[in-house]
Amino acid sequence: MANSFTRMIAGRNTAVILASIGASTLASGYLLHESAAAAERRKIYPPSADFPDLRKHNNCMAAALTPKMYAHLRDKVTPNDWTLDQCIQTGVDNPGHPFIKTVGMVAGDEESYEVFAEIFDPVIKDRHNGYDPRTMKHPTDLDASKVTSGMFDERYVLSSRVRTGRSIRGLSLPPACSRSERREVERVVVTALAGLKGDLAGRYYSLGEMTDREQQQLIDEHFLFDKPVSPLLTAAGMARDWPDARGIWHNNEKNFLIWVNEEDHTRIISMEKGGNMRRVFERFCRGLKQVEHLILERGWEFMWNERLGYILTCPSNLGTGLRAGVHIRLPLLSKDPRFKKILDNLRLQKRGTGGVDTAATGDTFDISNLDRLGKSEVELVQLVIDGVNYLIECEKRLERGQDIKIPSPIPQFKK
Amino acid sequence: MICYKGRSQVIRLTGELLGRRCWFVSSSVGKIGIFVSTPGSCSNPQVRKQQGSTMPFGNTHNQMKLKFSSEQEYPDLSQHNNHMAKILTPPMYERLRSKQTPSGFTLDDVIQTGVDNPGHPFIMTVGCVAGDEETYEVFKELLDPVIEDRHGGYKPSDKHKTDLNAGNLKGGDDLDPNYVLSSRVRTGRSVRGFCLPPHCSRGERRAVEKLSVEALAALSGDLKGKYYALKNMTDAEQQQLIDDHFLFDKPVSPLLLASGMARDWPDARGIWHNDNKTFLVWVNEEDHLRVISMQKGGNMKEVFNRFCTGLTKIENLFKERGHAFMWNEHLGYVLTCPSNLGTGLRAGVHVKLPKMSKHPKFEDILKKLRLQKRGTGGVDTAAVGGVFDISNADRLGFSEVELVQMVVDGIKLLVDMEKRLEKGQSIDDIMPSQK
């Protein structure tokens, strides 16, 4: 990753200067003047007056935020004038579920993670099983050739998929972006994607302009995403101005797909029917590298740094932002009381085939990696491959009337 | 949920979206200085303190946006059918985008709800909100024409009459209770000096709650009552309030959510009502205060009496504590939703009109009487069993007494008509003229 550069934007009068650079620190200077109205308000409403009531809350933000931290951070802003209150609004508005712990905060821009590190770091540590951004480094590895096995038994695995997200450095993230920034993201990404060739050549469908027929086609293929309805997302402001500058790109072969300006600047998905996870991951890495190359040519780059990996809107997607998974039939294993423990130890999670928050229908599950940060892409995909193979092995053993074993837990971080 | 497919867009509408809110922002003759920020402050890549935009919520990072051209920022309103979309033009956007009110409310904040909710092809929503009293002044270029459009030609130079003298109402105590099942008058009030629900910080919202609770605690006699904070109420209290039809819940309408008024729910929200359960105040729902007087039967005069008495007492209690309601000569009472400017008053009854409602001239009669109908579940619900919620259509340009008078006279006539139709008689000779 390049350390710093000034980007030239065609057609703009002023260059947008980059603020944060990798793992660099920000100077903690303050501008000398502030308006009288602002000072007056700060006197009438000290931070204690604004501290949110989090007594009924069960999310990572609520667990980490203290009045002292709030007082320290409330009046700070990122270079784009994004504030702490804006980061945590979604967590204040959505107390969370008593059984599931949501994250409860979002970033408005790359600098949010620096300016508000005091709250983001403990939240990241909580969410990512002890990963400490202050001391640890995140490994990035998109060399698909390192992966072994990766061809699943298709009597069990119905489809394979790998997804991640990427943010364009220098433009605000979906909770915060203005309409022109969002449109700029669309322009940058679509221009770059037009440069893809061969099996990656494809086409962009803008959400606001697609015909009814195109829309129906995309729904049938399970490609179309719609305006978010989850209050977790809408409270963060990422659905503003819908469907302006949102769209879907996919290649002609329909196995490489990019969402533009949904929950992140881009979501990149490689998928196909069947169990050839190796090919899915290979195409994923190749496609990602080519897209990155195409935007670098035009003077843009992805948000990335050593301590947090790829920067995305939700802290839960930091690091690799990667979810590699399969739709798999496990009629016997799913009824075994040890199923959950086996998944836990393999560091896998199950979801219904409708995606997160859906229940499984029948015996078919969506099984994918739990972790995102602290392990590289190759490591996570290998983990999924090995884990799924183990699950298939268990299923086969149960079919034969043999007993199965709970595997020993996979260690957390390599340090 | 109704799905309307535009040319290439699925516009989702919920029942509450239809006609619920038309937002206007109008200018008030503000006594508070207007802060107009200009572009040119540097985008210093250092940790900074907040500038003029002191209230953190919303698109207050206006300075950053000014680096982009007006064209690049202008919203796509091609699928839109609301007042804001009709009035806003690119040159207007360019002139107004660099402005902000003293608390940091910007043009994008005003219009966000209208951008996010294109509206319905048959019903015209307003598409803007106010974040504070000064919004109406700073963005008058947009809001004056929107108000004029929404409030039947009300001009920027017009003056609004306030009349809360219940003694001026003629009649209203004799609506036939066989037809008129209940009577209700509601309005809203904003406390001057605090930002409105789309923009207020938690500290401000709590301050409004504290003030309101203190003022209401001083009411006595038949107005003596109790406050129930939404976040503290017991299950038993909650159930009672639901049974009494008093409890309000977190808004679900995308029109309201997109404007930011549901933030931090249920912090600093609550319901106050008197022991008799005939006078009710909502705190920090869609406005700072919503004041409701209601009772079963057709004695609108009594309802309005209590309404005026209660409101006046509350206003005095606030004044004793050094706070006034937002009001000015041109716009009357200033509220979040521009559709509620002026009186903010909706006086209505639940009335049985099974025969009238099937009469071909029903809609026309209502229009001439300056009344509107809704289902008894409230706005956007359908009438059930011939029972309608009938209320005044206007808010601005008529006084409170005038509006309630229209309702009283209009309902009297409608009930007479219903009785005639029951007897098989004609109603042609008592058709009203346009009020």
> What chain A residue is nearest to B59 in terms of C-alpha separation?
A176
Q: Determine contact, residues A389/A152, Cβ cutoff 8 Å.
A: yes
Q: CA–CA separation, A240 vs A86, rounded Å?
A: 14
Residue among A79, A179, A210 whose CB faces B45 most closely: A79
Comparing alpha-carbon positions, the chain A residue that sits nearest to B58 is A86
A10 touches chain B (CB under 8 A): no
Chain B residue with minimal CA distance to A27? B46
* Residue B225 main-chain phi, psi, to 5 deg: -155, -160
CA distance to B33, B150, B190, B333, B344, per residue, from B329 (Å): 18, 19, 15, 9, 14
Model pLDDT, residue A362: 77
pLDDT in tens, B163-183: 999 999 999 999 999 999 999
What is residue B299's predicted lDDT score, i.e. its pLDDT?
96
Nearest CA in chain B to A205: B8
Quickly state the pLDDT bin for B121 (edges 50, 70, 90). Answer: low
Share of chain B above pLDDT 90, in %: 73
Task: Tell me if chain B has a CB within 8 Å of the CB of A143.
Answer: no
Tell me if B73 and A179 make a contact (CB, 8 A cut-off): yes
* Chain A residues touching B57 at Cβ < 8 A: 85-86, 89
- Does A353 count as an annotated binding residue? yes
Whether A41 sits inside 8 A of B54 (CB atoms) is yes
Interface of B with A in 184-223 (CB under 8 A): 201-204, 206-207
Residue of A nearest to B48 (CA): A30
Closest chain A CA to residue B64: A80
User: How much is the CA Rg of chain A, to the nearest whole Å?
Assistant: 22
Separation in Å, CA A390 to CA A362, A407, A408: 21, 9, 12
CA distance B4 to chain A (A): 12
Is B10's CB within 8 Å of A226's CB?
yes
The answer to whether B59 faces chain A, any CB pair under 8 Å, is yes
**8 Å CB contact of B264 and A77:** no
Q: Which helix (H) or strand (E) holds A85?
A: helix A84-93
Question: Tens of pLDDT along chain A (415 residues)?
Answer: 333 333 333 333 333 444 444 333 433 333 333 566 667 777 889 999 999 999 999 999 999 999 999 999 999 999 999 999 999 999 999 998 766 789 999 999 999 999 999 999 999 999 999 999 999 999 999 999 999 999 999 999 999 999 999 999 999 999 999 999 999 999 999 999 999 999 999 999 999 899 989 988 888 887 888 888 889 899 999 999 999 999 999 999 999 999 999 999 999 999 999 999 999 999 999 999 999 999 999 999 999 999 999 999 999 999 999 999 999 999 999 999 999 999 999 999 998 876 565 666 678 999 999 999 999 999 999 999 999 999 999 999 999 999 999 999 998 765 4
pLDDT confidence of residue A386: 97
Cα(B79)–Cα(B115) distance, integer angstroms:
10
Is A167 labeled as ligand-binding? no
B375 is in an annotated binding site: yes
Q: What is the pLDDT of residues B250-270, one digit of tens each?
A: 888 888 999 999 999 999 999
Contacts of B109 (CB under 8 A, 6+ apart): B58, B59, B60, B131, B198, B199, B260
**A25 touches B: beta carbon within 8 Å:** no
Residue B94 contacts A where some CB pair is shorter than 8 Å? no
Chain B positions touching A18 (Cβ under 8 A) are 45
Q: What is the pLDDT of residues A241-254, one digit of tens each?
A: 999 999 999 999 99
Which residues of A, range 285-324, sit inside 8 Å of B by Cβ?
none
Q: Are A100 and A61 in contact (CB under 8 A)?
A: no
d(CA A348, CA A327): 13
Higher local confidence (pLDDT), B435 or B377: B435
A240 vs B49, B112, B203: nearest CB: B112
Nearest Cβ partner of A211 from B8, B59, B262? B8
pLDDT of amino acid B387: 93
Q: What are the b/e assignments for A74-83, b being 16+ CB within 10 Å?
A: bbbbbbbbbb
Higher pLDDT pick, A109 / B233: A109
User: Does position B18 have pLDDT exceeding 50, yes or no?
Assistant: no
**CB contact B89 to A (< 8 Å):** no
pLDDT for residue B161: 94
Interface probe with A: pick from B1, B38, B47, B284, most Cβ of A within 10 Å: B47
Residue A177 φ then ψ, to 5° = -65, 145
pLDDT value of position A356 = 60
User: Residues B289-308: what's their mean pLDDT?
Assistant: 96
Q: Choose the closest CB to B43 out of A17, A51, A241.
A: A17
Using CB atoms, which residue from A18, A19, A38 is nearest to B54? A38
Measured between alpha carbons, how far is B30 from A392 in angstroms, rounded to an integer? 72
pLDDT at site B120:
67
Closest CB from B48, B62, B76 relative to A244: B76
Cβ pair A81:B60 closer than 8 A: yes
How confident is the model at residue A225, as a pLDDT? 87
Shortest distance between the Cα of B91 and any Cα of chain A, in A, equals: 17
The reply, when asked if residue B377 is annotated as ligand binding, is: yes
Mutation for B interface: A113, A178, A205, most B CBs within 10 A: A178
B234 is an annotated ligand-binding site residue: no
What is the ipTM for the molecules in this complex?
0.83
In the numeric block, the tokens 């038949």 are attached to B222
B35 and A38: CB-CB below 8 Å? no
Residues B80-99 pLDDT 10s: 999 999 999 999 999 999 99
Residues 94-113 of A with CB under 8 A from B: 111
Dig out the tokens for A176 from the structure.
């915060």
* Separation of alpha carbons A252 and A250, rounded Å: 7
Residue A351 marked in a binding site:
yes
Q: Do B50 and A75 touch (CB under 8 A)?
A: yes
Taking only residues 236 to 265 of chain B, the set having a beta carbon closer than 8 angstroms to any beta carbon of chain A reads 257-258, 262-265
B234 at interface of A, judged by CB pairs closer than 8 A: no
Q: Percent of chain A scored above 70 by pLDDT?
A: 87
Residues 185-224 of A with CB under 8 A from B: 207-212, 215
Q: Mean pLDDT, chain B, as a whole number? A: 85
**Shortest Cα–Cα distance, B231 to chain A (Å):** 9
**Contact of B373 with B227, CB cutoff 8 Å:** no
- B202·A51 Cβ contact <8 A: yes
Q: How many Cβ atoms sit within 10 Å of the Cβ of residue A27?
A: 10
For B354-405, what is each residue's pLDDT tens digit? 999 999 999 999 999 999 998 876 565 667 788 999 999 999 999 999 999 9
User: Which parts of A257-376 fold into alpha helices (H)?
Assistant: 277-297, 339-346
Pairing of strands A304-305, A309-310: antiparallel
Most B CBs within 10 Å, among A33, A51, A179, to test the B interface: A179
Residue A250 among known ligand-binding residues: no
Residues 228-267 of A with CB under 8 A from B: 234-235, 239-244
Q: How far is CA A92 from the centre of its chain?
A: 21
Query: Each residue of B69-78: b (16+ CB within 10 Å) or e?
Result: ebebbbbbbe
Classified as helix, coil or strand, B290 is strand
**Is A67 within 8 Å of chain B by CB?**
no
Q: What is the pLDDT of residue A15?
A: 37
B153 interfacial to chain A (CB closer than 8 Å): no
Residue B184 annotated as part of some ligand binding site: yes
User: For B275-284, what is each residue's pLDDT tens digit?
Assistant: 999 999 999 9
CA-based nearest residue to B63, from A204, A285, A78: A78
A-chain CB neighbours of B257 within 8 Å are 234
For residue A45, give how far its alpha carbon lies from the nearest alpha carbon of chain B (Å): 6
Band of the pLDDT at B244, cuts 50, 70, 90?
confident
B61 versus B299: which is more confidently predicted? B299
